[in-house]
Amino acid sequence: MEELLQKIMLKAYEVNKNTKHTVCVYFYGHVNQIEIYIYLNGWIADKDEDIKRDVYLDERTDNKELQEILEKLEGLEMKENV
């Protein structure tokens, strides 16, 4: 799980750096949860996120859900570079 979390954080940084999309990743330690907000074509004030995912990081967490988030982020970067 830790490796996937690291990859998600790095990929979010890369998407923000290399594309026009904006990705926000929040970690809430008091409830052991991450939230991912994706703004396609960039963040705009008063505009809701286009994609939101939240995952509780406990013994019930399925790494498949984190892998899907990582793949979504990788897809954003690939679409931008085509």
What residues contact 22, with CB distance under 8 A and at least 6 apart?
16, 38, 39, 42, 43
> 77 in a domain, yes or no?
no
The domain in which residue 47 lies consists of 2-70
Distance CA 24, CA 71 (A): 16
Q: What is the DSSP string of 33-45?
A: EEEEEEETT---T
Quick: pLDDT tens for 47-75.
Answer: 999 999 999 998 777 788 899 999 999 99
- Its sign, for the CA torsion 70, 73, 78, 81, is negative
> 26 in a domain, yes or no?
yes
Question: Hey, what are 68's tokens?
Answer: 């899907």
Number of domains forming the structure of the chain: 1
pTM comes to: 0.86
> 79 in a domain, yes or no?
no
